[in-house]
Amino acid sequence: MNPPIVKGIPLPEFNLWKRIRNKRVLTNFDFEITDRCNNNCRHCYINVPAGDSVAKKKELSADEIERMAGEAASLGALWCTLTGGEPLLREDFFDIYLRLKKRGLLLSLFTNATLITNEHIRFFKKYPPRDIEVTVYGATLETYEKVTRRKGAFGAFARGLDLLLKHKIPVRLKAMALRSNIHEMQEIIRFCQERTKDFFRFDPFLHLRFDGDPKRNKEIISERLSPSEIVDLERSDPARFRGLLENCERLIVQSYSKKTCRHLFYCGAGNSGFAMSSQGIFRLCSSLWHPDCIYDLKTGTLREAWLNFVPRVRKKESDRKQFVKKCLVCPIINLCLWCPAHAHLETGGIDIPVDYFCQVAQARAEALRKAAT
């Protein structure tokens, strides 16, 4: 039986037998189709300049992207997020998007919206995305362009976002809370909520660079909020803080102190999705770049990566005393930013505690305890 067709695009089929057979079920994946970006955000963990010819040459071709995405769909994936860098910098973006649509995938897009034109609007109206996520770096020109470090970026962003909203393309807005925009965060929140009342999120947790660039990492660290500032920001959002309070029993787990298992991975990395880089590097999540936890899809298959490589990574254990005696048994680790991926970006190892993460967890736990009494 052929899958149903809408405007020439087959709809995704729900591969039920795989979901019954195996609890670790592939449903989605992120595809970074370029690392290049027309902005140069102070906090960005991946971007290289838009005109970087070396980076462009290393990017997967549309054929390679289609092959890898097609393998994911054959394994049960239902949707894909096209991200970057700035995905719209790809001259073959429309071609890539349609190829993946024809593979039966629902598509989401992460973009800064500065490159959106009427041509994109016509295209998205004909071939609707699942949604488009746009990050708001500031509510004013001064703040937005301080973060993006590109003159004219705010005007381009405003025009692109207005086009998307005017034509009712499904948009979700999000914000990064930085040292450079924290003074304007309430205005940013209002800006977002006025335009997309059904969905908005902000993130105060800044990851270090995937390429380990020490100069850029120093900039990112300088943009981080203090633990107390993170807590104050979360408390200022009643819905977000109420969610934390309502989940205290799941977030603060005293029984963790009795753990004897030494596994590293307790997160959802590799359980229902994965990430692929612009050069075809497979990871359990977008941030996991440890050499022992990546798989080159140019020399292997996605089936091998998903069925065999992922379980091997998730079985990794640690004998590092500092990790076993501190992180692994910590009752507030669920309030922490710690995970093997972030530990590696911060320290070079996947089983090393990070003081900043500990301080954030402790500040959040104290705020929850006070609110609950």
Q: Which helix (H) or strand (E) holds 171?
A: strand 171-176
Q: How far is CA 118 from CA 93, 124, 226, in A?
A: 15, 10, 41
Confidence (pLDDT) at 128: 97
Residue spans of the domains in the chain: they are 5-225+265-316, 251-264+318-373
Residues 6+ apart with CB under 8 A from 362: 227, 332
Confidence (pLDDT) at 239: 81
Question: To the nearest whole number, what is the mean pLDDT of the chain?
Answer: 91
Residues 204-214 have pLDDT tens digits of 999 999 999 99
Kindly list the strands in the beta sheet with 200-203, ordered across the sheet, starting from the edge strand earlier in the chain.
Answer: 200-203, 171-176, 131-135, 106-111, 79-83, 28-32, 273-276, 281-283, 294-296
Q: Is 19 helix (H, G, I), strand (E, B) or coil?
A: helix
Q: Is 200 helix (H, G, I), strand (E, B) or coil?
A: strand
Confidence (pLDDT) at 291: 97
Residues 6+ apart with CB under 8 A from 243: none
Confidence (pLDDT) at 258: 67
C-alpha dihedral (227, 217, 142, 89), degrees to nearest 10: -130
Q: Is 268 helix (H, G, I), strand (E, B) or coil?
A: coil
Confidence (pLDDT) at 252: 78
Confidence (pLDDT) at 11: 42
The token pair that represents 306 in the structure block: 């998903």
Residues 226-276 have pLDDT tens digits of 999 999 999 988 888 888 888 887 777 787 776 778 999 988 999 999 999
Q: Is the pTM of this model over 0.85?
A: yes
Confidence (pLDDT) at 195: 92
Residues 6+ apart with CB under 8 A from 312: none
Confidence (pLDDT) at 23: 64
Confidence (pLDDT) at 372: 83
Residues 8-52 have pLDDT tens digits of 444 443 343 344 344 679 999 999 999 999 999 999 999 999 999
Candidates 3.40.50.970, 3.20.20.70, 3.30.590.10, 1.25.40.10; CATH matching 5-225+265-316 = 3.20.20.70
Confidence (pLDDT) at 105: 97
Q: Provide the 10 A C-beta neighbour count for residue 197.
A: 8
What residues of the chain score a pLDDT lower than 70? 1-23, 258
Task: Specify the amino acid at residue 55.
Answer: A
Question: How far, in Å, CA of 249 to CA of 233, rounded?
Answer: 22
Confidence (pLDDT) at 358: 95
Residue 90, Cα to own-chain centre: how many angstroms?
20
